[in-house]
Structure 1
Amino acid sequence: MSRTNLNADDTRRQPAEERFRLVVESSPAAMVIVDNHGEIVMVNRQTENWFRYDREELIAQAVECLIPSRFHDRHVNDRDKFLKAPQARPMGAGHELFGRRKDGTEFPVDISLHPMQTSEGMLVMAYIVDLTDRKRAESEIRKRHTLERLALLGQLAGSVAHEIRNPLGVIRNAAYYLNMVKESLDGEAQESVEEILEEVDRANRIVSDLLDYTRDPPQQTATFDVVNFVHKLVQERRPIDDELVLVQSQIKSFDVTADADQITRILENLIVNGVQASVDPITIQIVISSSGSQVMIDVQDEGEGVDDSQRLRIFEPLFTTKTKGIGLGLVISKRYAEQNRGTLELVDHTGVGAVFRLTLPSHELVGGEVVMEP
Structure 2
Amino acid sequence: MAACLALLLAFLAAVDAALLVHRHRLLIAEARRDAAREVALMGTATREALLRSDTENAARLLERWALEHDDIAALSAVAPDGFVLARVQKPLPPDRPTLRLDHEVRDGDRTLVRLEMQRDLAGLRAELSRFALHLGLRSLLVAALFAGMLWLVLRVTAMGPLEAEITRRQQAERRFRDLIDRAPDAMALVDRRGRLAYVNARMEMLFGYTREELLGADVERLIPERYRNGHRRRVRAFLEAPAHVPMEAGIKTVGLTKDGREFPVDISLNPVETEEGTRVLIDVRDVTERRAAEAALERAYRYQRVVSDILAHSLRPASLASQLDYALERILTLPAMAEEGRAAVFLAESPTGPLVLKAQRGLPAEAAARCAEIPLDRCLCGRAAAEDRVVFGECPGDQAVGPCPGLAPHGHYCLPIRCGGTAVGVLTVTLPAGHCRDPREEAFLRSVADALAGIVEHHRVEREKAELRDRLARSEKLSALGRLAFNVAHEIRNPVTALGGLARRLHRAFPDATREKDYTRVILEEASRLEALIEALAVYTRTTPLEKAPLDLNALARESLEEFGPALSDQGIEVTTDFGRLPPAELDGPQIRNALDHLVRNALEAMPGGGRLTVATRPCDIGGQPGVEIRMADTGAGIPPDHLERIFEPFFSGAGRQGTGLGLSICRKIVEDHGGRVEVENAPGEGTAFVLRLPLAAAAAGEAAR
Q: Distance in 1 between matches of 2:231 and 2:309?
A: 45
Q: Are the counterparts in 2 of residues 116 and 125 from structure 1 also a CA contact under 8 Å?
A: yes
Q: Are the counterparts in 1 of residues 325 and 360 from structure 2 also a CA contact under 8 Å?
A: no
Q: Equivalences for 1:304-315 in 2 at 5 Å?
A: none
Counterpart residue number, 1:9: 165
Q: 1:211 and 1:10, CA in 2 relative to 1: closer, same or farther beyond 3 A?
A: closer
- Aligned residue among 260, 263, 268 for 2:355: 263
Give the Å deviation of 1:79: 2.1
Q: Distance in 2 between matches of 1:209 and 1:130?
A: 43
1:107-153, Cα deviation, whole Å (9 max, x unpaired) = 22221111112112221111122222222222222223223222321
Counterpart residue number, 1:36: 192
Report the 3-state secondary structure (helix = DSSP H, G, I; strand = E; otherwise coil) of the residue aligned with 2:284: strand
Q: Distance in 2 between matches of 1:209 and 1:342?
A: 12
Q: 1:57 and 1:94, CA in 2 relative to 1: closer, same or farther beyond 3 A?
A: closer
Counterpart residue number, 1:274: 364
Q: 1:342 and 1:9, CA in 2 relative to 1: closer, same or farther beyond 3 A?
A: same
Give the Å deviation of 1:23: 0.4
Report the 3-state secondary structure (helix = DSSP H, G, I; strand = E; otherwise coil) of the residue aligned with 1:133: helix
Counterpart residue number, 2:282: 126
Counterpart residue number, 2:238: 82
- Aligned residue among 12, 15, 19 for 2:175: 19
The one-letter code sitting in structure 1 at the alignment partner of 2:234 is: D
Counterpart residue number, 2:405: 300
Q: TM-score scaled by structure 2?
A: 0.29
Q: 1:121 and 1:156, CA in 2 relative to 1: closer, same or farther beyond 3 A?
A: same
Q: How many residues align?
A: 238
The one-letter code sitting in structure 1 at the alignment partner of 2:322 is: I
1:101 aligns with 2:206: no
Give the Å deviation of 1:52: 1.8
Give the Å deviation of 1:6: 1.6
Counterpart residue number, 1:164: 318
Q: 1:341 and 1:274, CA in 2 relative to 1: closer, same or farther beyond 3 A?
A: closer
Q: Distance in 2 between matches of 1:112 and 1:94?
A: 5
Q: Distance in 1 between matches of 2:214 and 2:251?
A: 26
Q: Are the counterparts in 2 of residues 24 and 31 from structure 1 also a CA contact under 8 Å?
A: yes
Q: Distance in 2 between matches of 1:259 and 1:347?
A: 32
Q: Are the counterparts in 2 of residues 108 and 130 from structure 1 also a CA contact under 8 Å?
A: yes
Q: Cα RMSD between the aligned structures?
A: 4.7
1:206 aligns with 2:300: no
Q: 1:212 and 1:106, CA in 2 relative to 1: closer, same or farther beyond 3 A?
A: closer
Counterpart residue number, 2:517: none
Q: Equivalences for 1:333-348 in 2 at 5 Å?
A: 334-336=414-416
Q: Distance in 1 between matches of 2:172 and 2:354?
A: 76
Q: Distance in 2 between matches of 1:372 and 1:347?
A: 42
Give the Å deviation of 1:38: 0.6
Q: Distance in 2 between matches of 1:77 and 1:26?
A: 31
Q: Distance in 1 between matches of 2:426 and 2:260?
A: 40
The one-letter code sitting in structure 1 at the alignment partner of 2:364 is: G
Q: Are the counterparts in 1 of residues 265 and 288 from structure 2 also a CA contact under 8 Å?
A: yes
Q: Are the counterparts in 2 of residues 51 and 66 from structure 1 also a CA contact under 8 Å?
A: yes
Q: Are the counterparts in 2 of residues 66 and 99 from structure 1 also a CA contact under 8 Å?
A: yes
Report the 3-state secondary structure (helix = DSSP H, G, I; strand = E; otherwise coil) of the residue aligned with 1:164: coil
Q: Equivalences for 1:52-71 in 2 at 5 Å?
A: 52-71=208-227
The one-letter code sitting in structure 2 at the alignment partner of 1:120 is: E
Give the Å deviation of 1:205: 2.9
Give the Å deviation of 1:103: 1.9
Q: Are the counterparts in 2 of residues 270 and 299 from structure 1 also a CA contact under 8 Å?
A: no
Give the Å deviation of 1:273: 3.6
Give the Å deviation of 1:343: 8.8
The one-letter code sitting in structure 2 at the alignment partner of 1:335 is: L
Q: Distance in 2 between matches of 1:101 and 1:74?
A: 19
Counterpart residue number, 2:492: none
1:204-227, Cα deviation, whole Å (9 max, x unpaired) = 53334558999xxxxxxxxxxxxx
Q: Distance in 2 between matches of 1:20 and 1:105?
A: 31
Give the Å deviation of 1:372: 8.3
The one-letter code sitting in structure 1 at the alignment partner of 2:174 is: E
Uncovered stretches (5+) of structure 2, i.e. residues with no partner: 1-154, 331-349, 380-395, 418-422, 434-617, 622-706
When structure 1 is superposed on structure 2, of 3-12 and 79-88 the one drifting more is 79-88
Q: Distance in 2 between matches of 1:7 and 1:20?
A: 20
Report the 3-state secondary structure (helix = DSSP H, G, I; strand = E; otherwise coil) of the residue aligned with 1:96: strand
Q: Distance in 1 between matches of 2:431 and 2:400?
A: 16
Q: Distance in 1 between matches of 2:273 and 2:370?
A: 76
Q: Distance in 2 between matches of 1:72 and 1:335?
A: 46
Report the 3-state secondary structure (helix = DSSP H, G, I; strand = E; otherwise coil) of the residue aligned with 1:77: helix
Q: TM-score scaled by structure 1?
A: 0.51
Q: Distance in 2 between matches of 1:157 and 1:209?
A: 11
Report the 3-state secondary structure (helix = DSSP H, G, I; strand = E; otherwise coil) of the residue aligned with 2:260: coil
Q: Are the counterparts in 2 of residues 271 and 284 from structure 1 also a CA contact under 8 Å?
A: no
The one-letter code sitting in structure 2 at the alignment partner of 1:300 is: P
The one-letter code sitting in structure 2 at the alignment partner of 1:274 is: P
Q: Are the counterparts in 1 of residues 269 and 281 from structure 2 also a CA contact under 8 Å?
A: yes
Q: Distance in 1 between matches of 2:216 and 2:205?
A: 19
Q: Are the counterparts in 1 of residues 196 and 216 from structure 2 also a CA contact under 8 Å?
A: yes
Q: Equivalences for 1:224-243 in 2 at 5 Å?
A: none
The one-letter code sitting in structure 1 at the alignment partner of 2:184 is: P
Report the 3-state secondary structure (helix = DSSP H, G, I; strand = E; otherwise coil) of the residue aligned with 2:266: strand
1:285-317, Cα deviation, whole Å (9 max, x unpaired) = 6899999x954454535xxx77x9xx79xx7xx
Q: Distance in 2 between matches of 1:11 and 1:347?
A: 66
Report the 3-state secondary structure (helix = DSSP H, G, I; strand = E; otherwise coil) of the residue aligned with 2:227: helix
Q: Are the counterparts in 1 of residues 246 and 269 from structure 2 also a CA contact under 8 Å?
A: yes
Q: 1:158 and 1:297, CA in 2 relative to 1: closer, same or farther beyond 3 A?
A: farther
Q: 1:20 and 1:259, CA in 2 relative to 1: closer, same or farther beyond 3 A?
A: farther
Counterpart residue number, 1:114: 270
Q: Are the counterparts in 1 of residues 328 and 360 from structure 2 also a CA contact under 8 Å?
A: no
Q: Distance in 2 between matches of 1:103 and 1:131?
A: 19
Q: Are the counterparts in 1 of residues 415 and 426 from structure 2 also a CA contact under 8 Å?
A: no
Q: Distance in 1 between matches of 2:214 and 2:188?
A: 10
Uncovered stretches (5+) of structure 1, i.e. residues with no partner: 166-203, 215-257, 316-330, 349-370
Report the 3-state secondary structure (helix = DSSP H, G, I; strand = E; otherwise coil) of the residue aligned with 2:197: strand
Q: Are the counterparts in 1 of residues 267 and 282 from structure 2 also a CA contact under 8 Å?
A: yes
Counterpart residue number, 1:321: none
Counterpart residue number, 1:242: none
Give the Å deviation of 1:37: 0.9
Q: Are the counterparts in 2 of residues 32 and 40 from structure 1 also a CA contact under 8 Å?
A: yes
- Where relative contact order (Cα < 8 A, 6+ residues apart) is larger, the structure is 1
Report the 3-state secondary structure (helix = DSSP H, G, I; strand = E; otherwise coil) of the residue aligned with 1:300: coil
Q: 1:74 and 1:346, CA in 2 relative to 1: closer, same or farther beyond 3 A?
A: closer
Report the 3-state secondary structure (helix = DSSP H, G, I; strand = E; otherwise coil) of the residue aligned with 2:355: helix
Report the 3-state secondary structure (helix = DSSP H, G, I; strand = E; otherwise coil) of the residue aligned with 1:110: strand
Q: Distance in 2 between matches of 1:77 and 1:138?
A: 28
Q: Distance in 1 between matches of 2:415 and 2:329?
A: 9
Report the 3-state secondary structure (helix = DSSP H, G, I; strand = E; otherwise coil) of the residue aligned with 1:113: strand
Q: Equivalences for 1:133-212 in 2 at 5 Å?
A: 133-160=289-316, 163-165=317-319, 204-209=320-325
The one-letter code sitting in structure 2 at the alignment partner of 1:164 is: A
Give the Å deviation of 1:19: 0.6
From the CA coordinates, give the structure whose radius of gyration is larger: 2
